[in-house]
Copies of this chain bind each other. A is one copy, B any other.
Amino acid sequence: MAYRDTEKTRSKREEIRTRILQATHELVVSGGFRNTTIQAVSEQAGIATGTVYKHFPSKAELFSEVFRRATQKEVDKVAQAIVGQENVLLRLQRAIRCFAHRAIQSRGLAWALIAEPVDPVVDADRLEFRQAYAALFSDLIREGIAKQEIPLQSASVTSAAIVGSLAEALVGPLAPPPPTLQTNDRTLPSQQTEDALIDNIIRFCLQAVTGCAFIEDQHK
């Protein structure tokens, strides 16, 4: 008889699946979720529209997976920047710098992950995404409070506020390029260089947390 799953079979299936995810990711990075149609995805991946549905039950599910993958990578990076034996403030600073740097490097992605209007399924993922960051920060803040490195405060409010300031200061000022990728002539607000912007954000957040800010100069 015929056709049991074999290595070749599985690997090819995986490969197509991956190609769909990659194609979607690329389109999202350059044009956001809104402009990413199944037709465009299949074109980009070099397959037929129907094939997409042999690998993903719906557009929402596909988007959700793309979102979660991209998101997880970002959260991991920040989590990585946070670990260490140094004092809490330094680690907080490193985490914020990491977040900011990456957001600036890849604005299209940052916008899609943080600010772009998306459908409810993906929006639910985004909630988790922000909560993941907030959790990272609030753990760190609790640790800092316990070690008496920072004053007593509501870790949950502080961490939410930090996430909010990062999002707004980094993605808000950006001209949200939703429908057509418009002429991206408007660069950062008032010619701030990336480092200056990041330093400002760090000062804001550290001061908010402690009442004072010593910015370590450890760019990149």
Contacts and interface: CB of A to CB of B under 8 A. Distances in A.
Contact of A168 (B153, B163, B190): B163
Instruction: Please give the count of copies of this chain that the complex contains.
Output: 2
A220 to B, nearest CB: 20
A79 B153 CA distance: 29
Nearest to A175: B127
Interface string A150-162: 0001101110111
Majority SS of interface residues in chain A?
helix
B205 A156 contact: no
A120 interface: yes
A168 to B, nearest CB: 3
A211 B213 CA distance: 8
Nearest to A206: B208
A11 interface: no
A199 to B, nearest CB: 9
A165 interface: yes
A196 B211 CA distance: 19
A156 to B, nearest CB: 5
Of A164, A166, A201, chain B has the most CB atoms within 10 Å of the CB of A164
A168 B178 contact: no
Contact of A189 (B156, B162, B169): B156
Nearest to A116: B117
Interface of A: 34, 117-120, 123, 127, 130, 153-154, 156-158, 160-169, 172-173, 176, 178-179, 189-190, 192, 196-197, 200-201, 203-205, 207-213
